[in-house]
Every structure is written in structure tokens, then in C-alpha cells.
Amino acid sequence: MSQIENQEHSSEYAPVPIPHSEVRRSDVSPKQAKYQQRLISLLFGLSMLCAVIFVVAYVQIPIDETVSIPFLGTWSKMNTILGLSFGLGSFFIGAGVIQWAKQLMSHREMVQDRHPLRSPDDAREDAIAQFQQGAQESTFATQPILRRSLIGAMALFPIPLVMLLRDLGPLPGDKLFNTMWRPGMRVVMDVTSAPIRPSDIPIGGIVSAMPDGLPEVQEHDGNLNERAKSVVLLVRLNPDDIVSQQNPEGEASWDYEGVLCFSKICPHVGCPIALYEQRTHHLLCPCHQSTFDLADSGRVVFGPAARDLPQLPITVDKDGYIIARNGFAEPVGPSFWERA
């Protein structure tokens, strides 16, 4: 290789420079070199200035002060100035160092040989011989009883590691099959817990609701698990528009004077469903766009959900408030292996 002739160092590890044709202006013009030097030191200087601005802004700007900029909305003054000063401070260091490397540091490309990654044959043979020697001395091959019992012990050893995970959670049991809905339980307003009369919902109206006593259950459980499955939607349709409902044949229909009650939890992967289109009585899940026709048994009309939205049978109690006639006839929420 002709480049070897250019070799500067005798060290076998030193890369060989190859002649580089590109000549920078800063290589030939002292004026340009001086300019680069000034430019780079200016960048470092700006970085220092940014650090000062950061400290001053941190101490001086009230954290809640905002500025309104037309078209760009409201900005947190502190966040903007801290971010810009910190960010630019870092950027200027990087830009300066890169410019230094590009303009003033030696600009010769170099060549280095690659060495084969594969070990030489004798090294391979030696490694194998060494291994065999070690294996032989270990008596692993000649002690089948020890070997097999060790393998057995090693196989059982991880059992505690798995076992220790057991108490991460309870077994599912029938939890996914049931909600707190019971016959006679009032369907109340979601936030206020106020009981609801059918006349409270205009035709075409929709109301987020929950079982009476849910807050107490939540309080008792210390979590939102029950809420995640028992919340419902009450929707009122013109009774003539209702095509079908989920009541089994022979049973009275599950609405009350056109008021229908459906689970709010999508049977796809469990998002709460909230987008209702009054004209088509379609309910759209905002997560994956499964669409259910509430006038037609909550049937899936579009999207990835495979099952109809579960319906809750309702009626009114003696005070005229909406109550559940029964619990859900099927598990609510996403499908699972044991569901059937």
C-alpha cells in the first residue's frame, strides 16, 4: 500500500495518514484562523452568559408568572427562560467545540487496518484443548450421578424465585364476572349521587350514572376497582325508535319508557365510552372507535369491539326513581380467557 510511505510513527498501532486534498481557508489564511478563533471563543463566552442568565432567572422570576403571546398562547416565563438559557448554554459549548474540531484541529484523514476478528487456528485449537483439559479435570463427564443430581437441583432452584411472586395479587376468582349491581339498587347521578327519575332525562339525552353507594364502596375498598366496571350510561330514546334490546325472549323489555341503561365500559379494551350521537343513537368509543347502536341492543356497528355493550335492566321504585331490575347478565369490560 502506497500510503504506508507516508507513515509518521513507527508504532504499529499508529494510523497511517492519507493525503487529504481538502484545504481549509483557516489552514492557509492566518486572518481566517484568527477569525475562527474569535468566533469559537465568542460561542464559549455566550455559553457562560447563558449560565448567568439561568441563575438570575431562577432567583428572580416568580414561578407562576406567565406571558401571553399572540397566536402562541400563554407561556410560563420561568420555564421559557430557564429552558432557553440552559439549552443554548449547552448548545454553544457543543457548537464551539465542533467548530474548533472542524476548523482548527488537524484535518488529516487517516487509515487504519482492520484485523480479522476470527482467532488464529492455533489459538482456537489451544482454547479447545484448554477447555477439554478443564472439563476432564472437572470429572463432569465421568460422574453421571453427580451431574444428573446437579442438573436436577439447578432445575428446581428457580422455583422459589417464581413462588415469591405469588402474593403480587389475588387469584381472579369471579371478580371479573360480577359488579356491585343488585336488584332494586338505585341508578344515581355520577358525581352528585342524586337519584334520577325518567322524566329528568329528555328524549335524546344521555346521563353518566353509577350504582347508589359506589362512593362508600370505593371508600371501603380504598381503590377505584368497582368504579372501573359498574359505571353506566342512561339514555332516553323515543320508544318507537328502539329496534331491539338484550332481554331474553319472553321477558319484559329492559328499558323503562324508552330509558335504556348500558355499561359505560367498552367491551374492547375497557375505555369508558362517552361520545354519543343523538341522531343515529350511536355511541362511539374515543379510544378505538368501536361504535354501538343503542337503539339496537347496543350492537357493534363499527370498529374492533367484538361484543355488544352490556345492557342493565331497569325499572322505577315506588318513589319513581330509576332502579336496577337485576345485575348485568354478563361480565362487563374487556373479554378474558375464562369469560366464555
Partner 1 sequence: MSNAIGNFASGLDDRLTIASWSRRNIRKVFPEHWSFMFGEMALYAFITVLLSGIYLTLFFKPSMTEVLYDGSYVPLKGVHMSEAYASTLDISFDVRGGLLLRQIHHWAALLFVAAMSVHLVRVFVTGAFRKPREINWMIGLGLLMMGFLAGFSGYSLPDDLLSGTGLRIAEGIMLSIPVIGTYLSFFLFDGEFPGDEFISRLYGIHILLIPGVILALITAHLLIVWYQKHTQYPGKGKTNDNVVGYPVMPIYAAKAGGFFFVVFGVIVAIAGVITINPIWGYGPYMPDQITAGSQPDWYMGWLEGALRIMPNWETVAWGHTISWNVFIPAAVLMGIVFTLLGAYPWLERWATPGDQTKDHNLLDRPRNAPTRTALATGSLTFYFLMLIAGGNDIIASQLDMSINAITWVVRIGIFVIPPFVFWITRRICLSLQRKDRDLLLHGVETGTMMRLPHGEFEEVHAPLSEEAKAVILSKETIEPIPYPEKTDANGVKTPHYHLKKMQAAVSHWLYRDAVPLPSAAELEAAEHHILESAEKGAPVMHQMRQLEAEGGVMHDPSAAEADRAAGVTVPHLDAEFDQKAEDEKGQQAD
Positions in 98-137 near partner 1 (CB under 8 A): 98, 100-102, 105-106, 109-114, 116-117
CB 58 within 8 A of CB 82: yes
CA atoms of 181 and 11, how far apart (whole Å): 84
> How many residues of this chain bind partner 1 (CB under 8 A)?
93
Give least dist CB 322 to partner 1, A. Answer: 18
Q: Pick between residue 122 and residue 174 the one whose CB is nearest to partner 1.
A: 174
Interacting residue with partner 1 among 228, 276, 296, 321 (CB under 8 A): 228
Bridge partners (DSSP) listed for residue 263: 232
Q: Is 180 in the site for partner 1 (CB under 8 A)?
A: no
Stretch that binds partner 1, among 122-130, 141-149, 295-303, 321-329 (CB under 8 A): 295-303
CA atoms of 163 and 153, how far apart (whole Å): 16
Q: Is 276 in the site for partner 1 (CB under 8 A)?
A: no
Q: Pick between residue 35 and residue 86 the one whose CB is nearest to partner 1.
A: 86
CA atoms of 340 and 335, how far apart (whole Å): 9
Interacting residue with partner 1 among 187, 196, 210, 312 (CB under 8 A): 210
Q: Is 86 in the site for partner 1 (CB under 8 A)?
A: yes
Q: Is 172 in the site for partner 1 (CB under 8 A)?
A: yes
Q: Is 189 in the site for partner 1 (CB under 8 A)?
A: no
Stretch 313-332 residues interacting with partner 1 (CB under 8 A): none
Grid coordinates belonging to 262:
348500558
Stretch 18-47 residues interacting with partner 1 (CB under 8 A): 18
Interacting residue with partner 1 among 103, 195, 201, 264 (CB under 8 A): 264
Q: Pick between residue 149 and residue 289 the one whose CB is nearest to partner 1.
A: 289
CA atoms of 77 and 23, how far apart (whole Å): 47
Q: Pick between residue 87 and residue 184 the one whose CB is nearest to partner 1.
A: 87
CA atoms of 328 and 319, how far apart (whole Å): 23
Q: Residue 128: phi, psi to the nearest 5? A: -65, -45
Stretch that binds partner 1, among 133-141, 218-226, 239-247, 310-318 (CB under 8 A): 218-226
Q: Is 63 in the site for partner 1 (CB under 8 A)?
A: yes
CA atoms of 242 and 201, how far apart (whole Å): 16
Q: Is 160 in the site for partner 1 (CB under 8 A)?
A: no
CB 196 within 8 A of CB 207: yes
CA distances from 317 to 200, 239, 268 (A): 15, 20, 33
CA atoms of 134 and 129, how far apart (whole Å): 9
Q: Pick between residue 75 and residue 258 the one whose CB is nearest to partner 1.
A: 75
CA atoms of 224 and 181, how far apart (whole Å): 15
Beta carbons within 8 Å of 238's beta carbon, 6+ residues apart: 203, 258
